[in-house]
Amino acid sequence: MELGELAERERRILALERRGFSGPGAKERAVREELGLAPVRYYQLLNALLDDPRALACDPVTVNRLRRIRESRRAER
């Protein structure tokens, strides 16, 4: 992997975030089945990925959307 390139798992996390999910639990089920991760670990990795400039370069629309959501949730607290 070259410097500046996301790992396969990181790209798959961003790809999962681009998708829409139909019902309660659907996203968590996809996280477990497709990535083999517990939802808590998935969200830890996703949160770190949102601060990674490589992720922003790879998928700016998704990363910026998720950053806005994260910031609005922080502001609500």
Could you report the per-residue pLDDT of 21-75, keeping only the tens digit for each? 888 899 999 999 999 999 999 999 999 999 999 999 999 999 999 999 999 998 9
Could you report the per-residue pLDDT of 1-16, keeping only the tens digit for each? 444 789 999 999 999 9
Do residues 70 and 47 make contact, with C-beta atoms less than 8 angstroms apart? Answer: yes
What pLDDT is attached to residue 51? 97
pTM: 0.87
User: Read out DSSP for 35-47?
Assistant: I---HHHHHHHHH
